[in-house]
Amino acid sequence: MKIEEWFHILRSKAETIEEKWSSASEQERLQLADQLFYLRQVSDTVVDLWLQFEERLSHAIRRIQEMEGLPATEKSVPVAVANEPADPSITIKEQDSPAAQAAMNGSSQPKDGNPYEPMFRRGEGFYHLRMYQDAKKCFAELIQKSPDWESGRLYYAYSLLLCEEPEGAFREFRLLSRSASSPTVVAISYNAMGCILAGEQQWLEAAQAFKLSLEVKPDQDEARYNLALCYFQDGDAQEALDEIEKCLQKDEDDWEAQLLWLRAAQKLQAMDESAELTPPASLRLPSRELDNETLQEMAALHESVGNYHRAQVCYYFLTERLPREGWAWHGLAWNTWLIAGTKRALTLLKKAISLAPHQDDFTFSYGWMLLFDGHVDMAMAAFRSMLERNRDNRLGQSGMICAYEKLGDIQAAKRLAKAFTDDPELYVRSLGSFHLGRLAFVEENWRLAEHYFRRTLPHADQFREVPVYLQLCASKLGEPVREIELLKL
């Protein structure tokens, strides 16, 4: 029997016991408990035998490497742990395994004849079996008896971290960063300290730890990526871009780095619309090789800066992969409309609506395209369908305000818009002021229009036409224009 089949039988027995337990009688539960106890004994025996095998295999590999004059290549240092930062879609990167292997060269390498080597190998076995509590106890005993064994202390620090004892782990990493003779162990320790700090959202302190890691080993890609992520989370979009571009110069297909570049570019664009962004080579043109999330981010970035053709290609690739996702078809339809107009876009938009018939954004886009092409009655029917589902739907009401304006019924448009200004949400009140400002502008009431447009300023980034309207109002009133500076245009 193959070992895989044997383990499958054991797993099946455990599953059967679990399934039978709830409906078993008291006598049957005693029998099931005996079976569980037997399976636990089997598990303990397997672990002990595996540890003995691992110890002997490691010794054999190391001795053969020495006889052949080869450097040690066995992985004996754990990788760093990824912690979740503020944005759950982006994570701190794990330590790369080649760096961990290199850490075992030099003073951190266990020496033959060391009386505590069996203890080290046993702890290492527990660690790789993910039995972190056992690994922690083993390495705690090891560093008491051999406190200068760097790799043992490194394992102990990671075991503490994985046992949810970050404070103890941080102390051990800090000790290693100050005392280890191996530069790689020092660099890994600083990176791990940065990961712990980033997990607590202490971005400034984490960035300093990653910088120190890079000072020791400038080619450590994980620390550089993590540093860029800290800059991004702390609001320093330009600093994040500078660091992540260095990562992409080494590996242009690193999708995590690509995604972070796109996020940082979007943040910088939101802060400064005049910022000139030149994407790395791998992000200049959409590619089918990119993962879905990166394609979605790339589409949003290209759309925000007016590269509608590239955004359209991104969404096209996404509809190929996700044909049942309405948002992908909506993105493709919207950018197609911006490029080629309503006729080509409506079919795509109908596809999006058919997949998500109650998604108001899709219905609004459909009505908006029709309104733009002068089909006011059809557009109003789309907006009314939204209001039939929810009479207070602000998106549907906004569509109706614009439709009334097209029809020249300014009073009806005003009545709807004024209701927005009593809304408890600030953004909705700003939207109402924007609508009323446009309607006053149509009536050539420049002072009133200026008054309403000024009230949109708390959300000026959402209403990009406002600076132009304010400039026109000021011109009509014969007053100097100050709002351009105010809105940082």
Q: Does a structural domain hold residue 411?
A: no
DSSP calls for 372-435: HTT-HHHHHHHHHHHHHH-TT-HHHHHHHHHHHHHHT-HHHHHHHHHHHTT-SSHHHHHHHHHH
pLDDT band at residue 481 using 50, 70 and 90 as cut-offs: low
- Under 8 Å CB-to-CB from 145, ≥6 apart: which residues? 116, 119
Number of domains observed in the structure of the chain = 3
Q: Does a structural domain hold residue 347?
A: yes
pLDDT band at residue 366 using 50, 70 and 90 as cut-offs: very high
Residues 186, 176 contacting (CB under 8 angstroms): yes
What would the mean pLDDT of 313-329 be, rounded to a whole number?
92
Q: Which domain holds residue 440?
A: 420-489
Specify the pLDDT at position 417.
93
Q: Does a structural domain hold residue 143?
A: no
pLDDT band at residue 104 using 50, 70 and 90 as cut-offs: very low
Residue 391, number of CB atoms within 10 A of its CB = 9
Question: In this structure, what CATH number is given to the domain that contains residue 293?
Answer: 1.25.40.10
- Under 8 Å CB-to-CB from 464, ≥6 apart: which residues? none
Is pTM beyond 0.75? Reply is no
Q: Does a structural domain hold residue 54?
A: yes
Q: Does a structural domain hold residue 407?
A: no
Q: Does a structural domain hold residue 332?
A: yes
Residues 81, 192 contacting (CB under 8 angstroms): yes
Q: Tell me which residue of 214, 250, 197 sits closest to 258, measured CA to CA.
A: 250
pLDDT band at residue 81 using 50, 70 and 90 as cut-offs: very low
